[in-house]
Amino acid sequence: MISMDIEFDYQNDVYGFLDFENIDKQFQSKGIIDETPSLFSIPTHFAAYSAENSGQSASYLIKAEEDNFGGKLTPNISRSNDSESKDLGKKSHSKDSLKFSRKIAKLLVENLASATEESVVSVFLRASSKIMNSIHTAFDEKAQVMPTEDLIQSEVSILQQIWKEFRDCLSYKKNNKICLVKPEHWNRIFNRKTFADQAIKACQLMKNDPSIKLLLNNECLLKCFCDILFVVNLLMVFTLVIKDGSPKGGKFIKEIETADNLIVLMTNPDLFQYYNHRSGKFASECCGACKICRSKGIPVGFKSILENTRVKTSMLIDTISKVFPTNLQKIQEEQVIYLLSVVIQSS
């Protein structure tokens, strides 16, 4: 039985790594996963990350790239040893988050537009629809199951709206004031509460759809739906960034020098306001003199919050790489359900 975090208080709670041993055993016995993902130990990615210390050079994304493509890195992806890294302190990274966000929006909008039977997006959404239906029937045994295909179509429409609005607010053509990604932009996708608000708004525009009508009439079910959709959406972004190898897609994203920090911000958007886009560094690792470093609101223990988020991010990347060892087209529904059961709070 899945228990949802209805209050959305702490973003970190989305990664409620509970009872994994049991989940892993169940999936291993069915042959869905080969080995237990390293959820209980610090993965190799993080060890590499800690060694680098600065948070600037290639780390877990590069490691994931090596895992996915047999360790054969193209020279332009390997960022850590080139002379450029020596100048990182002086270099401006102001545009990195904008480039990163536009690329992930493009990837998601394109993938959602081709959500056909075999696409990776439909595999994720089919898994989430089935989980949604099992929650629905758990609430009410007599409840009629919502047709999976209808539910997938509704999910596609909701996500398309959210992603298109995100893309448009980052586009010079639609928003000529844009020069930097701000927390209010980032939260549209990565803050659970903001994402849910938009999903509910999209549902209200689709109130004649029978499945959506049913959700709108049951507040608790609607919150569960938004929560699952948020997690599925986040996992799709992570999976596409890690597994997509196209030069203008996943590969481009991985080549952004500050991509590792931006991935950390995907995991915990609350850190966004303490990230200096120009230096590409977090408050505790920046210059000590800029506006971000001197911000009065920096939480006590920021360094350990950041460190914990990096560990969680690394664990998530590690898990995705292990659950989906092959390419995007071969991702199976059972693997997605496994991944969801690892990430969604379980009890």
> CA 161, CA 302: separation in Å to the nearest integer?
34
CB of residue 280 to Zn ion, shortest distance in Å: 11
In the complex with Zn ion, the residue whose CB is nearer, 285 or 318, is 285
CB of residue 290 to Zn ion, shortest distance in Å: 3
CB of residue 326 to Zn ion, shortest distance in Å: 42
Report whether 329 contacts 120 (CB < 8 A).
Answer: yes
In the complex with Zn ion, the residue whose CB is nearer, 104 or 286, is 286
In the complex with Zn ion, the residue whose CB is nearer, 48 or 287, is 287
Of the candidates 41, 12, 26, which has an alpha carbon nearest to the alpha carbon of residue 341?
A: 26
Q: Which residue type sits at 79?
A: R
Report whether 272 contacts 265 (CB < 8 A).
Answer: yes
Q: Which residue(s) pair with 281 in the sheet?
A: 276
DSSP string, 48-83: HHHHH-SS-SS-HHHHHHHHHTTT---TTT--SSSG
Query: Residue 144 gets which letter from DSSP?
Result: P
**Region of residue 53 (left: phi > 0; alpha: psi -120 to 50; beta: else):** left
Q: Which residues in this chain contact Zn ion in the complex, by CB under 5 A?
A: 286-287, 290, 293
In the complex with Zn ion, the residue whose CB is nearer, 46 or 275, is 275
- CB 153: neighbour CB atoms within 10 A? 18
In the complex with Zn ion, the residue whose CB is nearer, 282 or 338, is 282
CB of residue 332 to Zn ion, shortest distance in Å: 45
In the complex with Zn ion, the residue whose CB is nearer, 271 or 315, is 271
CB of residue 55 to Zn ion, shortest distance in Å: 13
Q: What 3-state class would DSSP assign to 282?
A: strand
Closest-CB residue for Zn ion?
Answer: 286
CB of residue 59 to Zn ion, shortest distance in Å: 21
